[in-house]
């Protein structure tokens, strides 16, 4: 079967792509604006380059067409912290998928523990085994309802004991495999 993407609507293209390009990491993208901490779950992002160290994340719009809080906050503050999800915090990330108002914080509403690791960046989710502290790099201009943005990794937190001598990271991140979660552990 050959599918011609010009004949497939946007939602079905998303389903085809997200069910095929698997597993994808699941993480919170934590942003902050005017003291409100936003922690939005994402699985539609991927590493782009290691030099410069960058990831690309596609952020949609709200139903009313306005920017989602994560996008608006990143474009305003130029900072984001990406906190990876593991089996110990998967239930919390599921709760964060509920839409909240701009002045409501998932961190407060769902009582998610965070810690300020680096000055000048949003806090990280305390239960994450690894987090990326990023700065806005650029926006990819594409037609459509999602906005791909490139974030440059400036710092990374790795829980003690999870980095090998050869710089391999041993974390128990969860990934998205289509509409299902999959543990991404080294065996």
- Percent of the chain past pLDDT 90, that is, above it, reads 56
**C-beta atoms surrounding 57 within 10 Å:** 24
- Of 40-54, 138-152, 172-186, which gets the smallest average pLDDT? 172-186
Q: State how many domains the chain has.
A: 1
Q: How confident is the model at residue 154 (pLDDT cuts 50, 70, 90)?
A: very high
Token pair for 16: 């085809």
Q: Is residue 81 within 8 Å of residue 122, measured between CB atoms?
A: yes
Query: Tell me: the pLDDT tens digits for 28-44?
Result: 999 999 999 999 999 88
Report DSSP letters for 102-154, one per residue: TT--HHHHTT--EE--STTS--EETT-SEEEEEEEEEE---SSS-EEEEEEEE
Query: Tell me: the pLDDT tens digits for 68-106?
Result: 999 999 999 999 999 999 989 989 998 998 888 889 999
Q: How confident is the model at residue 186 (pLDDT cuts 50, 70, 90)?
A: very low
- Beta strands at 53-59 and 45-50: parallel, antiparallel or unpaired: antiparallel
Q: What is the pTM of this model?
A: 0.86
Query: What is the average pLDDT value for the chain, to the nearest integer?
Result: 88
Query: Could you tell me the residue range of the domain that residue 80 belongs to?
Result: 5-184
Rounded to an integer, what distance in angstroms lies between the CA atom of residue 165 and that of residue 163?
7
CATH code of the domain covering residue 93 = 2.30.110.10
């Amino acid at each position: 079967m050959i599918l011609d993407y010009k004949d497939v609507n946007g939602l079905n293209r998303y389903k085809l792509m997200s069910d095929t390009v698997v597993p994808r990491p699941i993480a919170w993208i934590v942003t902050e604006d005017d003291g409100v901490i936003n922690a939005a779950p994402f699985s539609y992002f991927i590493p782009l380059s290691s030099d410069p160290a960058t990831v690309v994340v596609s952020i949609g719009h709200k139903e009313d067409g306005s920017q989602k809080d994560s996008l608006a906050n990143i474009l305003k503050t130029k900072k984001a912290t990406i906190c990876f999800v593991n089996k110990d915090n998967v239930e919390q990330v599921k709760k964060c998928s509920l839409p909240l108002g701009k002045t409501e914080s998932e961190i407060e509403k769902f009582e998610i523990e965070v810690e300020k690791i680096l000055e000048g960046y949003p806090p990280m989710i305390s239960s994450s085994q690894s987090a990326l502290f990023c700065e806005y790099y650029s926006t990819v201009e594409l037609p459509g309802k999602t906005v791909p943005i490139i974030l440059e990794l400036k710092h990374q937190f790795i829980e003690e004991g999870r980095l090998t001598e050869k710089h391999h990271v041993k974390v128990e991140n969860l990934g998205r495999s289509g509409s299902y979660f999959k543990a991404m552990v080294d065996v």
